[in-house]
Chains A and B, each alone.
Chain A
Amino acid sequence: MWSSERFRNIVYQIALLSLVGALIGYAAYNLVHNLESRAIAIGFSYLGQEAGFDVSEKLIDYEPTHSYARAFVVGLLNTLFVSAVAIVAASVLGLVVGIGRLSPNWLLRKLAGAYVESVRNVPLILQLLLWYGVLTELLPPVAEAIVLGSAFLSQRGISLPWPTPHAGWWAALLGLFLAVLFAFLWARAVRRRRERAGRAPAVLWPSLAAGVVLPLAGWAVFGAPSELSTPAMTGFGFEGGKTVSPEFIALFLGLSVYTAAFIAEIVRGGILSVSRGQSDAAEALGLSRGQRLRLVILPQALRVMIPPLTSQYLNLTKNSSLAVAIGYPDLVSISNTTLNQTGQAIEAITLMMAVYLAVSLAISGLMNWYNHRVRLVER
C-alpha cells in the first residue's frame, strides 16, 4: 500500500494538516491559559455590553446605550459604504485615465501619464493626510461657509438639501431600479433579435426613457412629495439636509484617486493586450473609434483586466482602514475604541481580522464569478 503514490500523498497531507491543527490548538490553549493566569478577561461576552460612546457618522440608528456589537456593525457599514462608493469612482476614473493614456491626443496622453506616475508613487496615508489637511485648513469655518445655492461648504463638510423621508422618494428609487432591470433585459432581447433577424430596435433610447419615466411615475403615484430638508446654519454647524463630513470626503477622494491610478494601468494593459488586428479589422468594418473601443476592444480587454482589478478592489477595501488617521469612524476606529474600553485586544483584533477576511473573500468571490462569466469560451 505504501508503494501507492496516491496513498502516500494522502498520508502526508493528513500528517501536515494534523500538525498545523495541533500548532493552532497549542497556541490557542496557551493563550487562554496565559490570559487566565494573568487575570485578563477573555471571551466575546463584552459584545453584549453597553458601548457607552457615541459615533458621529452612522448609517443605522445608534446610541451610546446600544451594545458594542451594534457599534461594531455601525463601523462595518461605514467601511463598506466608503469602500463601495470609492470602488465605483475609482473604476470610472481609472477607465477614463487608462483610455486617456492611449489617446492619440498628446496633451491628454501626457496628463494621464503624469497623473498615474505621481499618484501611485506617493504613499496613500500621506495622500489621505493631504486631502484632509486641505479640506480642514482651507475651507472656511461654519460662520463663513461658502454658499452654493442651498448647499454649504465649510470645515464641517458639505451640507446639501436632502429629501425628507417619504414613500414617494422610495417609490422613485424603486422605479430607477426597475428601469435598470428593464434596460438590462431589453438589451438582451435586442441582442437575440439582432442575431436572429439581423436588424434590431435601438437600445439606448428606450432604456433612457425608462430611466426617466419609471422613477417619475413612482414618485407621482405615491404622492409626489416635493419637500426637501434644507441645511440651516445653527451655532456650531448645520441642521437639516445631509452633511457629508470632511473625514468621509477626504477618505473617499484619497482612496478613489489612489486606486484609480492603478486601475488606469490595468485598463491600459488590458487594451494593449488585445491584438492590433482586432482593432484594424473593426476599423475595416467601418466602426468609429468609440465603437471599436466599446464593442471590440473593451470586451476582450475585460478578460485580462478582471483578475488584477479584483486585487485592486480588495486593496481599496483594506486600505480604508487608514481612516483612523483622519478621524472617520470605520471598522478599525470603532474596534479600537472598543478594544481600549474593554481591554480585550485579542478578541477585538480577531474579530476585525475575521470581518476583513470575510469582506475580502466576498468581493473576490463576486469578481471570480464575473470573471467566469466573461471568460473566453473556446469552441
Chain B
Amino acid sequence: MLKQKTLCRCLAALTLGVAAGSAFAGPTLDAIKQRGTLVCGVHTGLTGFSAPDKTGKYAGIDVDYCKALAAAILGSADKVKYVPLTAQQRFTALQSGEIDLLSRNTTWNSKRDTTMGSVFPGVWFYDGQAFVINSKKNPKVKKLADLNKASVCVETGTTTERNMADYARANKLSFKPVVFEGQEATEKAFQSGRCDAYTTDASGIAAMLVNLPNRSDYTVLPEIISKEPLAPMLRRNDQEFFAIARWTIFALQQAEESGVTQANVLRMKAESKDPAVQRLTGATGEIGKGLGLDADWAVRALQAVGNYGESFERNIKPLGLARGMNALWNKGGLMYPMPLD
C-alpha cells in the first residue's frame, strides 16, 4: 500500500522532471473542455463531504462542488471523474496535473497559497479542529485541559498535527500524538482504545460518529482549537478556470440568498423580476460571457446540485452539524457571496 503510494509520488516527481512543461503548457480549462470530463480529486471516504452512497456513486458537499462545476463548464454533472486521494497524496496529485482541481476538505492557509503553486478560489466550508473522547472510558474529561498527557490519534498529512502541538505549547499542556496514515487506520486505533482522544476537523468527527452504532459513548469536547477554512484548490496556471471556480461558489451561495433552488430555477429565470436573480440565471447581463461560458452556466449548476443551502441540508445536516459559520452572512454566518453584476 505504502510502496504503491510512494511509487505514485515518485512517478509524479519523475513526470514533473521529464515532461519539460509541454504537457501543462495549455490552461487547465482547455484540457477539461477537450477531454469532456472534469477530473476532481476527492476524499476517499468522508461522509457528508465525499463518500460513496448506497448506489456506489460519490456523494457529499465536496462532490457537489465538482458536479456544479462540471455542469457549468461541460453541461452535465455526470461528466466528472473522481479520483479518491488520501491527505498526503492530494497536493502531488494536483501539482503533477493528475487532477484538474482538488475538492477535498483542504484547509486554505498561507503556505499552501504561496509555496505550492496553487490557489484557492473561495471557502466552501468553514470548519475547525476538535477533539473527541470516549466518555465511557474517560468520564472525567469535560474539556481539553483535562486531556493533558493523553495519547491522541492523528492522521498524517493534515494541518492537525501542528495545530495540536501549537495549542499544547500555548496552553502548557502535552499530548502524545500517535500518527497514522489514512483516516480509517486513525479512527480504528482510536475506537480500539489505543488513544484517549482523536482529533481532526469537527466535521470529520461528526462524519465518524454518524457511522458508529455506539455513538452515544463518545463526546466531542467543546474547544475548537483552529480555523479550518476548507476550500477547493487549483493549480495557479489558469486564470479563466480560477474565475469559473470562484464564481460557481458565489453563484450557488447567491442562489440561496435570492431563494433560487434546484426545483424553481427555471421558473425563476423566466418569471423573477429580481435583478440579482435575472443576472444569476442569465436572463439579463453577461456574467457567463465574462467567464467564457454561456448564459445558462449557473442554471445548470443549480439544476445539478441545488443552491449552497440545499447541498448543506442534503449532505451535512445528517451528520448532526448546524449551519453555524456556514450560514449566509445575513443569517449570522460567514458565507458572503460577492455581488453578481
A interface residues, Cβ below 8 angstroms from B: 27-28, 30-31, 33-35, 37-41, 52-56, 64-65, 125, 133, 136-137, 141, 143, 155-156, 234-237, 239, 245-247, 321-322, 324-327, 329, 332-333, 336-337, 339-343, 345-346, 349
Stretch in B66-74, B108-116, B206-214, B304-312 with 4+ CB within 8 Å of A: B108-116
**Chain A to chain B contacts (Cβ below 8 Å), 9 pairs:** A30-B16, A40-B116, A53-B162, A56-B177, A234-B149, A236-B138, A327-B189, A337-B157, A341-B111
A328 to chain B, nearest CB (A): 9
Chain A residue contacts of B164, Cβ below 8 A: 53-54
Q: B324 contacts the other chain (Cβ, under 8 Å)? A: no
Among residues of B, the one whose C-beta sits closest to the C-beta of A350 is B13
Q: Evaluate contact between B189 and A40: CB separation under 8 angstroms.
A: no
Considering the chains assembled together, what is the distance between the CA atoms of A329 and B180 in angstroms? Answer: 9
- A337 near B156 with CB under 8 A, answer yes
Interface string of B140-160 (1 = CB under 8 A from A): 100000010111010011110
Closest A residue, CB atoms, query B149: A236
The answer to whether B236 has its CB under 8 Å from any CB of chain A is yes
* Nearest chain B CB to A141 CB, angstrom units: 5
Could you count the A-B residue pairs with CB atoms below 8 Å apart for me: how many are there?
163
Cβ of B34 within 8 Å of any chain A Cβ, yes or no, is: no
Chain A residues within an 8 Å CB radius of B13: 31, 345-346, 349
**Given A39-B117, A54-B175, A332-B2, residue A28 in contact with residue B166 (CB < 8 A):** no
B192:A345 contact, CB within 8 angstroms: no
CB distance from B119 to the nearest CB of A (A): 9
The answer to whether B193 touches A346 (Cβ under 8 A) is no
Max count, chain A CB within 10 A of own CB: residue among B9, B95, B179: B179
**Given A247-B178, A337-B161, A340-B156, is A136 in contact with B189 using a C-beta cutoff of 8 Å?**
yes
User: Once the chains bind, are A324 and B181 in contact (CB under 8 Å)?
Assistant: yes
Assess whether B338 is interfacial by the CB under 8 Å rule: no
Other than A40-B117, A56-B178, A342-B115, give 13 A-B pairs with Cβ distance below 8 A: A40-B95, A56-B177, A64-B162, A125-B2, A155-B193, A235-B149, A237-B176, A327-B194, A337-B157, A340-B157, A341-B161, A343-B112, A349-B9
Contacts A136-B194, A236-B149, A349-B9 given: A38-B235 contact, CB under 8 Å? yes
A28 to B14, CA, bound (A): 10
Is there contact, CB below 8 Å, between B179 and A337? yes
With beta carbons under 8 angstroms apart, the residue of B1, B88, B180 that contacts A327 is B180
Report yes or no: A37 in contact with B193, Cβ–Cβ below 8 A: no
Instruction: Return B156 CB to nearest CB of chain A, in Å.
Output: 5
Q: A35-B117, A39-B117, A236-B150 are in contact. Are A141 and B193 (CB under 8 A)?
A: yes
> Does B219 count as interface, using CB distance less than 8 angstroms?
no
Residues from chain A with Cβ under 8 Å of B56 in the complex: none
Residues of B near A65 (CB, < 8 A) are 169
Stretch at the interface among B17-25, B42-50, B124-132: B17-25
A346 to B193, CA, bound (A): 36
Q: Is the CB of A333 within 8 A of B1?
A: no
Residue-wise, chain B 92-116 has the 8 Å CB interface mask toward A (1 for contact) of 1001000000000000000110111
Q: Give the shortest distance, in Å, between B214 (CB) and chain A (any CB).
A: 15
| Chain B 164-193 interface 0/1 with A at a Cβ cutoff of 8 Å (1 = within) | 111011000011111111000100010011
Closest CB-CB distance, B173 to chain A, in whole Å? 11
Residues of B that sit less than 8 Å from A by CB: 1-2, 6, 9-10, 12-14, 16-21, 24, 87-88, 91-92, 95, 111-112, 114-117, 137-138, 140, 147, 149-151, 153, 156-159, 161-162, 164-166, 168-169, 174-181, 185, 189, 192-194, 196, 235-237
Residue with the greatest number of chain B CB neighbours at <10 A, chosen from A38, A55, A326, A342: A38
Is the CB–CB distance between B19 and A34 below 8 Å?
yes
- Chain B nearest CB from A61 CB (Å) reads 14
A38 to B177: give the CA distance in the assembly, Å.
Answer: 34
Contact in complex: A54, B165 (CB < 8 Å): yes
Residues of the B chain whose Cβ atoms lie less than 8 Å from the Cβ of A41 = 115-116
Q: Indicate if the CB atoms of A236 and B156 lie closer than 8 Å.
A: no
Of the candidates B6, B12, B117, the one whose C-beta lies within 8 Å of that of A38 is B117
- The smallest C-beta distance from A153 to any residue of chain B, in angstroms, reads 14
B168 partner residues in chain A, CB cutoff 8 A = 54, 64
In the bound complex, what is the Cα–Cα distance between A221 and B20 (angstroms)?
69
Q: How far is B93's CA from A345's CA once the two chains are assembled, in angstroms?
A: 11
Known: A325-B185, A329-B179. A40 touches B17 (CB 8 A): no
Considering the chains assembled together, what is the distance between the CA atoms of A205 and B235 in angstroms? 72
Q: Is the CB of A28 within 8 A of B235?
A: no
* Minimum Cβ distance to chain B for residue A203 (Å): 46
Shortest CB-to-CB span from A307 to chain B, Å, is 25
Q: Is the CB of B92 within 8 A of A345?
A: yes
Please give the distance in Å from B176's CB to the nearest CB on chain A: 5
Closest to A24 in B: B17
Query: Across chains A and B, which 6 residue pairs bring their CB atoms closest together, nearest first?
Result: A38-B117, A41-B115, A40-B117, A31-B17, A27-B17, A236-B150
Nearest chain A CB to B282 CB, angstrom units: 34
**Chain B residue with Cβ nearest A318:** B3
Measured CA separation A27–B15 after assembly (Å): 9
Do residues A40 and B115 form an inter-chain contact, with CB atoms below 8 A? Answer: yes
Partner of A155, one of B95, B185, B194, B236: B194
When the two chains form their complex, are residues A327 and B2 in contact, meaning their CB atoms are under 8 A apart? no
**Contacts known (A64-B169, A136-B189); A324 close to B19, Cβ less than 8 A:** no
Residue of A nearest to B134 (CB): A141
CA distance A137 to B181 in the complex (A): 19
Kindly state the separation between the CA atoms of A258 and B327 in the bound complex, as whole angstroms: 54
Contact between chains at B137 and A141 (CB < 8 Å): yes
Q: CA–CA, A341 to B158, complex, Å?
A: 7
CB distance from A156 to the nearest CB of B (A): 7
Question: Roughly how many angstroms separate A329 CA and B178 CA in the complex, as a whole number?
Answer: 8
How many angstroms from the CA of A34 to the CA of B97 in the assembled complex? 12
- Chain B nearest CB, measured from A102 CB (Å): 34
CB-CB < 8 A to A137: which residues of B? Answer: 192
Whether the Cβ atoms of A340 and B21 lie closer than 8 Å is: no
Q: Which of A141, A322, A345 makes the CB contact (< 8 A) with B91?
A: A345
Cβ B151 vs Cβ A53 within 8 A? no
B9 touches A236 (CB 8 A): no
Q: How long is the Cα–Cα vector from A125 to B189 in the complex, in angstroms?
A: 16
Contact check: which of B21, B165, B194 meets A33 at CB < 8 Å? B21
Q: Is the CB of B236 within 8 A of A236?
A: no
Among B6, B114, B151, B162, which residue has its beta carbon within 8 angstroms of that of A237?
A: B151
Question: How far apart sit A339 and B237, CA to CA, in the bound complex (Å)?
Answer: 23
